[in-house]
Structure 1
C-alpha cells in the first residue's frame, strides 16, 4: 500500500497574468522547493513537480496526513504573497491510499488518479481524502476527518466516500502550548452563489438561505422546473449544507466532475466549487446553472 498526495497551488493562472511568466515561474519554483522539504521531513518522496503542484508518495497514511497539515498551517502562520502583493498563497490537497504501480521512478494507478481528482475537488486551503486513508489512521488522527459522504470523482464509475481534514481544529490550544498565538489569524469562510448576473453570499453567521421560483427567495430562479422553495443552504457543523425540498430534484456537480450528486428531498455537503442545477440535469437545454464556490 502506498499513500499518494497531490498538492496544487490555487489561482496560479491569475498569478502568472499579474506577475508575468518569468517572475511567476521563479516564485513557483521557490515555493515548490520549500514545500518539498516539508513533505520530505515526513518521509515523503516527491515523484514529480507538475507545473504549479507536487505529486508525492508516502509509506503510510499518518505521515502523509501530518505533512499535508503542516503545509496548510505553515501557509496560514506565515502568509506568502506572490510579488509582495495580492492574496496569499493557498494550496488544495488530495490524499488517497492503495495499490500503486511504479515504473522508472514514476507512479501510476487508480490511487494516483483518485488523489489527483481529490485535489481538483478541494477548495482553497482544504485537504480531502478517502475511506482508505481514514481506515488506516490511528484513532486520534481520525478525529480530524469530517465525513463529506459519497461523491463521484471524475473518471470513476463508483462513488468514493470523501473526508475533509479539519486541520485548523485546536489551533488555539496549539498556540497556547507554543507560548504564542501562532493560529490567531482566521480567514472567514463564505459560500458564493452566482446566477443570472446576481451573486449571493452565505457565511457561518448567516441564517438559512433559500433558492427557488418564489420572488422573495434569496436567489430567485424563474424556471418552470424549479419549485417555489426549491432548496435551502445553511452553515451546519462547520460545513455548507444544501437540502433539496423540490418536486423534481436538484443536481449538484462538484468541481469539474461530470457525474452529479442527485438530491431528492435529501441533502449534501458542498465543497470547493461547482454547479447547482435545480429541476434538471446539467446538459438539458436552458438548464438553470447556479455556480457556487467556497472562499476564504
Structure 2
C-alpha cells in the first residue's frame, strides 16, 4: 500500500573509495568503506532519520523535516573527517562525503520512496563538491529562521532530467563562519585576495568576493556561456569559500586547470581546487587540445597595481 507524505529526502555519497581499493587492497578498503557508511547510518538514525537503502558507497534516508537532516549532515562531515584523518591508515587516501537534501512530497511504496523530492535530491548530489551539503530553496524555507544564515546561495543549477533550473544553497561549516564575517568586515587582512579576473572569449570581468559564485557552462543562464558541445550546461562553479577562490567541477566531462606557465595540468572530476595566481580553466577536454574551450583567471590582491596579461 502506498502513501504520500511530506518529508526531507537525504542522499549521502562517499567518494574516494576507488583510491582506497588501489592503495589498501580489497579487504582493508572494504572494511574502511563499510565502517564509514555504517557510521553515516547511525548518525542519521540518532537524529530521528530513517535509512531507506544503501547505494554502494552511500545511502538514502528520510527525515520528518529538514532540521534533523541538517544536524545529521554536520555530524556526518565531522565524523568522516575524523575517520579519514588521524584514525585512518597512514597510506590511505582521504575520502570525501557529498550530501544533498530536498524537502517535499514523496510516495512510499513497500519501504522504498519515489517522487520529485527524491529525484531532485539524487540529481543535486551530482552537483555537490567535496565535503559539501546542498539544499534547495524549498528546503531552506522549511528550516527555523535562525538557522537560515548558515547557508549560502549558489545561484540556479541545471540538474539532469529537469527543464527548469533549481536554486541551490550550501551549508557553511561552523568553523568558516567567523572567517567569512572577518573577510567581509573592516578587519580583513591586507594580504587577502580582493577579487578574481575572468576572461572568456575576449571579454574580461573582475569579480569581488561579494559577487561570487559564478557558473560557467553551455546554458544561456550561466554567468559565462561557452557554446561548445564539450561543455556541460552547468560545467563548473567559481566561488569564494573558506578564505580562498575555489573552482568546483559540476560536469560530465571534467574540468582542467593549468597554473601560469606550468606544464602540469590538474584534472577535476566532481572535485574542487583552489585558484591562485594566473592560469586557464579548460572545460571538457585538456588545455593541450586544439581549440579547447577555456576561460582565463587571475587572482587579484589590493597591492596588485599592474596586473599582467592572462596566459
Q: TM-score range by the shorter chain?
A: 0.5 to 0.7
Q: Shift in Å at residue 28 of structure 1?
A: 0.8
Q: Shift in Å at residue 103 of structure 1?
A: 1.6
SS of 1:143's partner is helix
Q: Which TM-score applies when normalising by structure 1?
A: 0.66
Q: Which TM-score applies when normalising by structure 2?
A: 0.63
Cα distance in 1 for partners of 2:46, 2:73 equals 11
- Structure 1 position 259 matched with structure 2 position 233: yes
Contact 2:215-2:234 within 8 A present in 1 as well: no
Q: Shift in Å at residue 71 of structure 1?
A: 1.2
Correspondence for 2:144 among 121, 124, 138: 138
Cα distance in 1 for partners of 2:231, 2:64 equals 29
Cα distance in 2 for partners of 1:98, 1:23 equals 39
Q: Shift in Å at residue 84 of structure 1?
A: 3.5
Cα distance in 1 for partners of 2:296, 2:18 equals 20
Report the equivalent of 2:89. 83
Q: Shift in Å at residue 205 of structure 1?
A: 3.5
Report the equivalent of 1:49. 54
Cα distance in 2 for partners of 1:170, 1:290 equals 28
Q: Shift in Å at residue 261 of structure 1?
A: 7.9
Q: Shift in Å at residue 4 of structure 1?
A: 0.6
Correspondence for 2:248 among 260, 263, 272: 272
Cα distance in 2 for partners of 1:234, 1:8 equals 32
- Structure 1 position 157 matched with structure 2 position 163: yes
Correspondence for 1:33 among 35, 38, 44: 38
Q: Shift in Å at residue 89 of structure 1?
A: 3.1
Contact 2:215-2:235 within 8 A present in 1 as well: no
Report the equivalent of 1:210. 197
Gaps of 5+ in 2: 1-5, 179-190, 218-222, 241-245, 257-279, 298-311
Residue-pair matches, total: 235
- Structure 1 position 102 matched with structure 2 position 108: yes
- Structure 1 position 74 matched with structure 2 position 79: yes
Q: Judge which range, 74-83 or 107-116, deviates more.
A: 74-83
Cα distance in 2 for partners of 1:261, 1:273 equals 6
**TM-superposition CA deviations, 1:218-249 (whole Å, max 9, x none):** xxxxxxxx20x434465448x654699xxxx8
Report the equivalent of 2:174. 168
Contact 1:7-1:92 within 8 A present in 2 as well: yes
Correspondence for 1:148 among 150, 154, 166: 154
Report the equivalent of 1:61. 66
Q: Shift in Å at residue 287 of structure 1?
A: 4.6
Q: Shift in Å at residue 206 of structure 1?
A: 3.3
Report the equivalent of 2:9. 4
Change (3 A) 1:75 1:258: same
Gaps of 5+ in 1: 173-203, 214-225
